[in-house]
Amino acid sequence: MSWRCATCDKLFETIPEDTVLLSKGAFSRVTVYRFADGTIHSLRQGRSAQTIHKTWHKISKKLGCEFCFPLPEPEPEPEPQPELPVEVLAELPELPASIPEQIEDEDVESLTPMQMAFRRQRTEP
């Protein structure tokens, strides 16, 4: 928890143990301390940007707010796939250039009109 001085805007990570409490605000968030070196600081607990955002944008989102509209996370780069050695590629069987489709008469009845149109388009020259 961090503390910020309302007077000099100095940031303290913790309140040192040798400080003296001068006043604690009953309805205020500011507490006044005297430090060992004689300086007096009005400390209040630091608020994160997320906490401030919740205070100001409870009801409606604001354009340009990095919390209301966060930037998309960058996609991780895909790992490069290792290439096959030439010896392995030579051993692979060759695939046929095209596989002719055979449509049976009873199979045509189960096809949707869109499927029949695509099949007709593929078979026409």
Q: What is the mean pLDDT of each run of 10 residues along the chain (125 residues)?
A: 82 85 78 89 77 73 78 84 73 66 59 83 71
Within 13 A of 76's CA, how many CA atoms are on the CB side?
3
pLDDT for 104: 52
Report d(CA 125, CA 120) in Å as an integer: 10
Residue 14: give the domain boundaries. 3-56
* In-domain check, residue 99: no
44 three-state secondary structure: strand
* In-domain check, residue 18: yes
The domain total for the chain is 1
State whether the Cα torsion 100-106-111-116 is positive or negative.
Answer: positive
